Amino acid sequence: MNNLTLPHIALGMTLAMTIFPSWAMADDRISDKGLYRVRWQSQAPEVTTDLIHDWLLHVETVDRRPADNLAITISAHMPGHAHGLPTQPRATDYLGNGDYRIAGMKFQMSGVWWVRFDFWRKNRRDWVIFEVPVK
C-alpha cells in the first residue's frame, strides 16, 4: 500500500479514511426518473482533528441546465451492513450554477458505501445513488 492510500490520521484515527483519489469525483449519473444529471466531489477535509467534511453536488437537468431550487436529502449505508452514517449530512447552501454544498459527510467504516441523494421540486421526487468506496 503506498503513501497515497495510507489512511490519514485525524480524530480518533479509527474514523480515518481517505476516498481513493480516483474516486474523489464520480462520473455523472442520471437520476432514477431521468430528471437530473448529477455528480459529486469531495472537498479536501479541513485541517482539523475531525473528519466531517463537505461535498459539492452538481445537479443539472438532462438537457444540461443548472437545476436550482431543489430540496435535497442525503442518506447512506453500506450494502450488507445494518448501519448508516454517523452523521446526518445536509444540503446547507446553494452556490449557483447547479452546485449545492453538502455538509456533514462522515464515514466511520472503510468499504463500499451507497450514498443516496433525494431531490424534491414542486412535489416531484427523484433520486440517485452513488457507489463510493471508502478506504
Strand order in the sheet with 111-121: 71-77, 111-121, 124-134
| Residue 37 contacts other proteins per CB under 8 A | no
Residue with Cβ nearer other proteins (46 or 66): 46
In the region spanning residues 74 to 113, those forming contacts with other proteins, defined by CB under 8 A, are 75, 77-90, 103-104, 106, 108-112
| Residue 86 contacts Cu ion per CB under 5 A | no
Residue 74 contacts which entry, other proteins, Cu ion, none (Cβ below 5-8 A, type-dependent):
none
Stretch that binds Cu ion, among 58-66, 71-79, 85-93, 94-102 (CB under 5 A): 71-79
In the region spanning residues 91 to 110, those forming contacts with Cu ion, defined by CB under 5 A, are 109
Rounded to whole angstroms, what are the CA distances from 64 to 11, 34, 125?
A: 40, 12, 19
| Residue 81 contacts Cu ion per CB under 5 A | yes
Angle at 133 between CA 33 and CA 38, to 5 degrees: 30
Rounded to whole angstroms, what are the CA distances from 66 to 3, 37, 92?
A: 38, 10, 17
In the bound state, the residue with its beta carbon closest to Cu ion is 81
**Which of 1, 4, 44, 47 lies at the binding interface for other proteins (CB under 8 A)?**
1
